[in-house]
Structure 1
């Protein structure tokens, strides 16, 4: 009996799961004859497509094992794992997860660490399928015995150390666990970490199906890396229609992005050309088709849109339904981008087949995804035929099908699918001019998306989720609708809604960058009677400005001639002028244009007579405006820079960093820096001679601890932060801010402290409730060409626990930096009532008198608490 059940279980699941690249749990277990018959029946039912009957038979077998008592606990665990595999493959990850969690509990009771590891790996796959990527990653970190407790604390060094694992000697389940970790790391944005792991695995594995699956994962990671580089240098997307394919022909991609895409294409081709027909080979064909439909012209490679892909290699599953949808969309995009008229009837037929296949496995979420995409096809056709009777017909078809898709995937059950269909319905109502219904559905979509802030989920995770495509346009389109009324001064609730949604976008963007959920945001009313808070909102065709003045209603203005294209062009030119020392060139002209957009419309409000004049401007910036210092805006009438009129601060969102006054008391300082030239990770960093003088000067009049050059190590910094309380942490060293967390770093004497490591280090102050009031990063730069590099700075500002962060937007002459920093601290020490923003303004003004060129004084920005 013991051997027969093992044989039946293996026959039932082996061929099926090997097609998915998954090995079933095989074990020889004794069983009564009726349980054996149930397993036989399950096998027969599976082979004839009666999947629900097969599941019922295995469930009944589990009951029999449980009735036989604790002696059969191991049999229960094994059968639950196999039942979970069947449920997982047929689109029931929730049920699979429950079975694997129960199996894990049994293995823990049996003191079977291998069984626990196996069940944890399977649980991670279910969590991944459900979209709970951080939880999936944490589960794998535990299963694979990393020293760190969570995925958020995992570093590239940890992975490099672990890459010494002998992957070729691992059993199939553990090998699958490592590969799944590579997939999850990619999905949560840790693309470089994913690459390190998967490349190490690929190098070690012999030619086999396991290697093919790993190469496939690596190809997906290369593609995600290309997308990440592309998105960092691409402007925000202000509108989105899923089946209107983006033409990249006129976009200039960085060489590093093209190289990553070429590596992805090579990985897919390797599987297609070197491995026999299988589900893995079919998936490689699908992913290559998708890749080339997006960037084929950049690779100098073309592919016939009608290329046949044998989807019969894929077993009935949710993954197969998604694959059918992906192929249909790739073919449609290829036809659009090559100038061939898409065969929409064929596309509709392919999506209808996907819907029918979802019915066969009883997966309503997969059916919802198929129907929602069908609605997307009709939406695109309605847009192409807008303002015609044919367009109205397509619009009605799109609404009907999308409503059915939303019914099948309710927000409470599948928010990561539902928000897409709510958004789609909003676009459809907007298309026909029904603004009220459009706003209603957009708001539903935004509220649904808020339910999954922590994960920012996707339905098919074989490439990196695109914040730029799948989240940002939703908020921008919604705010554009709310502010689309012809009335200049809208009702206060509408203005507050608009601010809340744009701040929700900023919050989601930061969480997507940090890969964690920030503390529950709190609405903040500005209590500083000297400050005006300015919210410029960049939309596709204009900049909207909402200004909050002390004890007054919100006011709204529209900047003239301010389309996103115009704004992007002017801001990028200004940035390039600012970062080059020397003649001011076009700086006054370009910065005057931005001044006219942002300040001129509100100038009368902030200069009007009031009991206490406005002396501080706090900007909650948006889009490319975040890449230039507001201090450098130029008033052509008075021939003064904005910093000569007002103290200035920026805030990533008042919900994130609330304005609380600096607790002066007795200031204490931890100052650290690197003045010598050092080589770290094969990069040579130039000396910064004035760092030593800077640290000496600022520490003279404050209780201080100084770490300079070889004493400035991660361990020493950590020891100081963990054992003492400092109101100011000042780091004078090379650093870089980037929208890629792995490329945000601070240089210590012997290593690069990357974004996550630096945040973990500073987080220890939060745990002791000893947050510094001020974090100073005095020699950093933003990554060249990275339009979202400021996220690196905002991420450190928000997650460090410091109420304020003073940093530089570009690397400045170190003598000027030293002069400004010394003056800044003098202002803080000598004027206890002076705000940090005012202290910075005074320091910048003193430098401006000596160096009129904004290159020297403009890059210093105060982020967060300005008081």
Structure 2
């Protein structure tokens, strides 16, 4: 979108005109500036530039000359002529310094800083841009210029988004929108709403995003802002594409084509249409669309947007099925993009186009030119500290070297890519829901492919250790991606530090095999391979999950034994020899949907042999321990049907039996409101919080919640509630969720469960992978608390004993009843 600085300069102009009208110097200046603005807004940037340059030859006041220089700097920045833009802004500042102190001088200085920030962010110097804009904001505040301050805040949010600080950007924008609600509709207000909607889209809050975008769209239509209308329509189209509502997305893109006077927005809409056509494999529609895009893209001026759109076009063409893929056209778009980028010193564009060209050569197994291009793209990306590109080319180089049989060099390149991703941690959150960026396609494979190369038969102890660290880093990255916020505190932890009788098992699902790493205290790491593909693993585990959740289907011994044979059988001698009594699983992929206690050796379940715990990542386990004997307990639950959820009659018995054997406060049914829960948490410290209510775990943050009488508590709310207890010096020791379930059909739903476990601050969490019968849950929970609070056993041992006692009762022998409950986090 064009910068909105010219709109605010018109506001200055009205003041300047009043000052200078007596000297009769401003008629020509006004006319020229209005003409430049008209051309600028219609996309005729070169014409606008010429008008302003001609105006400079006229006799102008210092203020007028300053305004022209600032606007010329803005235009040069948009054209990619950053050195020239910097020179013009420097000249403008020199003129500003010569002016007497006044509000007009301050306003001109603030606007020159706004353009300077645009130059800096376009040059990939994002942090400096943010600093510059903050300096301008102070000036706007001092002179009480709301319009300038609003524009400036939007610029700052642009920088925060570029830095991946979406939570902060959202906070700032939300405050800005609330403040603007007190003012009449304006272009700035409409733009702020659009930016807020765009951020909400990026963090996956699609319903809220759509509401803000529709509000901005209506305001843009009312104020006759066709460019902003088009930007809202493009964003709405993206939301509907993500939600796979393709007809509606197509309708939005078509509206942009009919509405926008700007060629670059028309091309963006057409490229998005092409993306939809390819997604739906409507190949017959592609020729005319490609031909039209190819024709229009040549009409773009030599600006950064021209390079970006050519790269986008090439990416779409690379997704075509092989017989329709026009390799020559792809090469032409990328090479032209490289030439334009070099001509205007647009280093980021040159780096991206060069890397994409290397990717094309890699696809066709022309590895020597692919390597040359990739290495060049990598150097360019590193020269401007563009980490989001750097990791891609490091990853690409790693793949190319691996295909050439250069294992050691490939490991170096992959390791650099993973290290860059760790540095880039903030930038990666909140963007995976975007059409153009998928965590599972663009981030996760980097980690898995490195592990695959490391864990070869000749792997050294150091390489096994690195593989474990990489898979831990992937677990952390997945949770960051789930929260859309890199906020999880981690610490490097060795199993020896936690429990000398515990072994940690890492099952790692690779494309063609299963790798299993075992960590035992005071022993070197070991690993073994299982010759089974990812497809076979997922098929077997999905079938087992379905059987476990249906008490009417008796699971076959072979089905329960398969995971045991993969993970435990090859290492059981080591476990016995080292006196291991607790197994901690850092589970991967579909293994997260299966409770490990149900693994069967032909005679016994694994829970009958070991205490069992699950850690989303060992780095996230709180290593402190404390006894829970005679600990204060908060019980909250629902027995009645609420908000479309069924009644839970067994909860009454569950709460009664726990209350009778412990010291507990109770919130039941109408007493269990969100506000009363919060109040009780604030008034009294609790070591244990037990919630016997409906809840759902999902791979989507916004679909993960716990039900109260009057509301739903999301992870963020639960975190706030449990953290709000100022009397409690230590975190909640144990959070129990006894009636929740994972979302049906969501293979990654356990991310929601892991998310609750690590985010709310409880050292340990017990929850069910599926909704279990009320009566069996009541029996299990009564036994668990007796073991934990009255007998003083550890959390792991208490849950294990309760599950064993339940499975030994004939009516509850099916794993459906006893195996659903898992312990996450600290097991001691």
TM-score by length of 1: 0.84
User: Conserved in 2, the CA contact under 8 Å of 1:96 and 1:126?
Assistant: yes
Partner of 2:246 in structure 1? 261
Match of residue 438, structure 2, among 466, 473, 477: 466
Deviation at 1:44, TM superposition (A): 7.2
Partner of 1:372 in structure 2? 355
User: Conserved in 2, the CA contact under 8 Å of 1:765 and 1:801?
Assistant: no
Match of residue 512, structure 2, among 535, 538, 541: 541
Distance change (3 Å), C-alpha of 1:6 and 1:645? farther
Distance change (3 Å), C-alpha of 1:443 and 1:18? farther
Give the Cα–Cα distance (whole angstroms) in 2 for the partners of residues 34 and 347 of structure 1: 50
Match of residue 653, structure 2, among 673, 677, 693: 693
Partner of 1:436 in structure 2? 408
User: Conserved in 1, the CA contact under 8 Å of 2:348 and 2:384?
Assistant: no
Deviation at 1:542, TM superposition (A): 1.0
Deviation at 1:824, TM superposition (A): 0.5
User: Conserved in 2, the CA contact under 8 Å of 1:537 and 1:545?
Assistant: yes
Flag the structure with more relative contact order, 1 or 2, with Cα contacts below 8 A and sequence separation at least 6.
1
Give the Cα–Cα distance (whole angstroms) in 1 for the partners of residues 128 and 621 of structure 2: 41
Partner of 1:185 in structure 2? 200
Partner of 2:723 in structure 1? 763
Match of residue 651, structure 1, among 595, 598, 615: 615
Alignment of 1:348 onto 2:331: yes
Deviation at 1:616, TM superposition (A): 1.6
Ranges in structure 2 where 5+ consecutive residues have no aligned partner: 1-12, 18-25, 49-58
Give the Cα–Cα distance (whole angstroms) in 2 for the partners of residues 458 and 733 of structure 1: 30
Partner of 1:630 in structure 2? 596
Deviation at 1:356, TM superposition (A): 1.9
Alignment of 1:671 onto 2:643: no
User: Conserved in 2, the CA contact under 8 Å of 1:19 and 1:280?
Assistant: no
Match of residue 106, structure 1, among 125, 136, 139: 139
User: Conserved in 1, the CA contact under 8 Å of 2:514 and 2:532?
Assistant: yes
Give the Cα–Cα distance (whole angstroms) in 1 for the partners of residues 136 and 345 of structure 2: 25
User: Conserved in 2, the CA contact under 8 Å of 1:12 and 1:43?
Assistant: no
Q: Deviations over 1:416-440 (max 9, x none)?
A: 1111111111111001000000000
Distance change (3 Å), C-alpha of 1:757 and 1:104? same
User: Conserved in 2, the CA contact under 8 Å of 1:663 and 1:773?
Assistant: no
Q: Please say which of residues 424-433 and 528-537 is displaced more in the overlay.
A: 528-537
Q: Please say which of residues 454-463 and 366-375 is displaced more in the overlay.
A: 454-463
User: Conserved in 1, the CA contact under 8 Å of 2:432 and 2:439?
Assistant: no
User: Conserved in 1, the CA contact under 8 Å of 2:429 and 2:484?
Assistant: no
Give the Cα–Cα distance (whole angstroms) in 1 for the partners of residues 200 and 44 of structure 2: 20
Q: Deviations over 1:88-143 (max 9, x none)?
A: 67877666544432221101222334432221112212333454433433332332
Give the Cα–Cα distance (whole angstroms) in 2 for the partners of residues 320 and 776 of structure 1: 55
Alignment of 1:748 onto 2:708: yes
Give the Cα–Cα distance (whole angstroms) in 1 for the partners of residues 724 and 138 of structure 2: 33
Alignment of 1:306 onto 2:290: yes
Give the Cα–Cα distance (whole angstroms) in 2 for the partners of residues 440 and 396 of structure 1: 18
Q: Please say which of residues 39-48 and 133-142 is displaced more in the overlay.
A: 39-48
Corresponding residue SS for 2:319: helix
Give the Cα–Cα distance (whole angstroms) in 2 for the partners of residues 707 and 620 of structure 1: 34
Distance change (3 Å), C-alpha of 1:305 and 1:442? farther
Distance change (3 Å), C-alpha of 1:656 and 1:14? farther
Alignment of 1:847 onto 2:806: yes
Give the Cα–Cα distance (whole angstroms) in 2 for the partners of residues 306 and 855 of structure 1: 54
Alignment of 1:475 onto 2:456: no
Deviation at 1:405, TM superposition (A): 1.1
Corresponding residue SS for 1:547: strand
Give the Cα–Cα distance (whole angstroms) in 1 for the partners of residues 431 and 499 of structure 2: 45
User: Conserved in 2, the CA contact under 8 Å of 1:198 and 1:214?
Assistant: yes
Deviation at 1:325, TM superposition (A): 0.6
Corresponding residue SS for 1:375: helix
Distance change (3 Å), C-alpha of 1:200 and 1:584? farther
Match of residue 569, structure 1, among 539, 546, 550: 539
Deviation at 1:694, TM superposition (A): 1.1
Distance change (3 Å), C-alpha of 1:724 and 1:431? same
Distance change (3 Å), C-alpha of 1:205 and 1:175? closer
Deviation at 1:840, TM superposition (A): 0.6
Partner of 2:101 in structure 1? 70
Alignment of 1:858 onto 2:827: no
Alignment of 1:503 onto 2:467: no
Give the Cα–Cα distance (whole angstroms) in 2 for the partners of residues 127 and 729 of structure 1: 37
Deviation at 1:34, TM superposition (A): 4.4
Alignment of 1:322 onto 2:308: yes
Distance change (3 Å), C-alpha of 1:219 and 1:501? same
Deviation at 1:854, TM superposition (A): 0.8
Deviation at 1:823, TM superposition (A): 0.8
Corresponding residue SS for 1:145: helix
Give the Cα–Cα distance (whole angstroms) in 2 for the partners of residues 474 and 765 of structure 1: 41
Map 1:162-241 → 2, pairs under 5 A: 170-202=185-217, 206=221, 208=224, 209=226, 210-224=228-242, 226=243
Map 1:440-459 → 2, pairs under 5 A: 440-456=412-428
User: Conserved in 2, the CA contact under 8 Å of 1:20 and 1:280?
Assistant: no
User: Conserved in 2, the CA contact under 8 Å of 1:59 and 1:83?
Assistant: no
Give the Cα–Cα distance (whole angstroms) in 2 for the partners of residues 195 and 20 of structure 1: 31
Partner of 1:16 in structure 2? 40
Give the Cα–Cα distance (whole angstroms) in 1 for the partners of residues 625 and 672 of structure 2: 30
Match of residue 173, structure 2, among 125, 140, 157: 140
Distance change (3 Å), C-alpha of 1:201 and 1:458? closer
Deviation at 1:400, TM superposition (A): 1.2
Give the Cα–Cα distance (whole angstroms) in 2 for the partners of residues 432 and 362 of structure 1: 33
User: Conserved in 2, the CA contact under 8 Å of 1:651 and 1:863?
Assistant: yes
Match of residue 556, structure 1, among 527, 530, 536: 527
Deviation at 1:448, TM superposition (A): 0.9
Ranges in structure 1 where 5+ consecutive residues have no aligned partner: 25-30, 147-161, 227-257, 383-393
Give the Cα–Cα distance (whole angstroms) in 2 for the partners of residues 738 and 510 of structure 1: 12
Distance change (3 Å), C-alpha of 1:691 and 1:412? farther
Give the Cα–Cα distance (whole angstroms) in 2 for the partners of residues 819 and 17 of structure 1: 71
Give the Cα–Cα distance (whole angstroms) in 2 for the partners of residues 359 and 599 of structure 1: 57
Distance change (3 Å), C-alpha of 1:807 and 1:566? same
Number of aligned pairs?
A: 778
Give the Cα–Cα distance (whole angstroms) in 2 for the partners of residues 750 and 459 of structure 1: 32
Match of residue 620, structure 1, among 572, 575, 586: 586
Partner of 2:4 in structure 1? none
Give the Cα–Cα distance (whole angstroms) in 1 for the partners of residues 696 and 284 of structure 2: 33
Deviation at 1:77, TM superposition (A): 1.7
Map 1:266-285 → 2, pairs under 5 A: 266-273=251-258, 275=260, 278-285=263-270
Distance change (3 Å), C-alpha of 1:89 and 1:523? closer
Alignment of 1:36 onto 2:64: yes
Distance change (3 Å), C-alpha of 1:460 and 1:794? closer
Give the Cα–Cα distance (whole angstroms) in 2 for the partners of residues 300 and 135 of structure 1: 45
User: Conserved in 1, the CA contact under 8 Å of 2:203 and 2:433?
Assistant: no
Deviation at 1:270, TM superposition (A): 2.8
Deviation at 1:145, TM superposition (A): 3.2
Alignment of 1:706 onto 2:706: no
Match of residue 606, structure 1, among 554, 575, 578: 575
